[in-house]
Amino acid sequence: MSNNIPADLKYTKSHEWVRQTQNGALEIGITDHAQSALGDLVFVEVPDVGRALAAGETCAVVESVKAASDVYCPLAGKVVANNVALSSKPELLNEDPYGAGWLFRLEADASADMKSLMSPALYRTFLAEESK
């Protein structure tokens, strides 16, 4: 099982990761653990730019040979960019889940609380618990 958990990201229990970019936007994707569990991805549906999302809202679908899985928005905000490359190359998400496989960027609402997310250490513990 792949379990790469970069130290500079935050995580959710539903296996999304969040990166704070230099211009303040949040970049969001799914973790290495999630892509590995799903297997080869064949379709990825990302949210439209401009869409307002609530924390926990279903915002994207990642579909592998095995199953379709919803992606939940980690924090409230507005979509400012999405990864269009994934529609023709869904395998980017398997190959590089923390880089070329990013899903969308979000301008977080003022109310959004980064502290609601898990640290890398907490996410690692969470995965270990989950696999028991």
Partner 1 sequence: MGLKTPLYDSHVKLGAKIVDFGGWDMPLHYGSQIDEHHAVRKDAGMFDVSHMCIVDLTGDRVREFLRYLLANDVGRLKTIGKALYSCMLLPNGGVIDDLIVYFMSQTWFRLVVNAGTRDKDLVWIRKEAVQFGVNAVERKELAMIAVQGPNARRKAANLLYPEQQAAVLELKSFCGTSFGSWFIARTGYTGEDGFEIMLPATDAADCWQRLLAQEVQPAGLGARDTLRLEAGMNLYGNDMDENYHPLESGLEWTVAFDPAERDFVGRAALERAQREGGKELVGLLLEERGVLRSHQKVQLNEAASNDLTGEVTSGTFSPTLNRSIALARLPKTLEHSVLVDIRGKLHAARIVKPPFVRHGKPLIDIRKES
Q: Cβ of residue 115: shortest distance to partner 1, in angstroms?
A: 33
Identify the CA nearest to 60 among candidates 15, 98, 23: 15
- Cβ proximity to partner 1, 37 vs 52, nearer residue: 37
Q: Is 4 in the site for partner 1 (CB under 8 A)?
A: no
Phi and psi at residue 19, in whole multiples of 5°?
A: -120, 135
Q: Is 68 in the site for partner 1 (CB under 8 A)?
A: yes
Q: Which one-letter amino acid corresponds to residue 55? A: A
Q: Is 66 in the site for partner 1 (CB under 8 A)?
A: yes
Q: Cβ of residue 45: shortest distance to partner 1, in angstroms?
A: 8
Which positions from 94 through 113 interact with partner 1, judged by CB under 8 A? 94
Separation between Cα atoms, residue 19 and residue 107, nearest integer Å: 12
Phi and psi at residue 30, in whole multiples of 5°?
A: -110, 155
* Region of 20-28, 41-49, 77-85, 112-120 interacting with partner 1 (CB under 8 A): 41-49
Q: Cβ of residue 66: shortest distance to partner 1, in angstroms?
A: 7
Which residues of this protein are in contact with partner 1, per CB under 8 A? 39-40, 42-43, 45, 63, 65-68, 91, 94
